[in-house]
Amino acid sequence: MRLSDAATGSARIELQHYLQGPKAANLLRVILPDGHMLQGQLIDGCNEPGGGWLLINIGQFELTPEPSANANVWKWE
């Protein structure tokens, strides 16, 4: 998957393979490797077996940190 800035207020997600999910989805949430979360309303897209792309409408401040799933494991000493 590759994420790019499509225009003001939108992002394009390029897919390397078919994305499994609900057929009537209207919202996409992506958690990036650095722990930030990007979400937005689906505007357009193409989802095919060999890959595709999705265009989502995002707000200016919708790139927020997502709490780590291992947050309870780490202890500061």
Contact status, residue 16 vs residue 26, Cβ threshold 8 Å: no
- Rg over alpha carbons for the chain, rounded to the nearest Å, is 15
In a domain, 39, yes or no: yes
Give the pair of three-digit tokens for residue 76.
């500061």
- What was the pLDDT predicted at 2? 83
In a domain, 77, yes or no: no
pLDDT tens per residue across span 9-66: 888 989 888 888 787 888 888 887 888 788 889 999 998 889 899 999 986 544 555 5
Segments forming the whole domain that contains residue 34 = 2-62
Pick the residue with more confidence: 16 or 72? 16
Q: How far apart are CA 8 and CA 14, in angstroms?
A: 18
Give the pair of three-digit tokens for residue 6.
């499509």
End-to-end CA, the chain: 37
In a domain, 49, yes or no: yes
Which residue is associated with the tokens 């947050």? Answer: 71
Record the pTM: 0.67
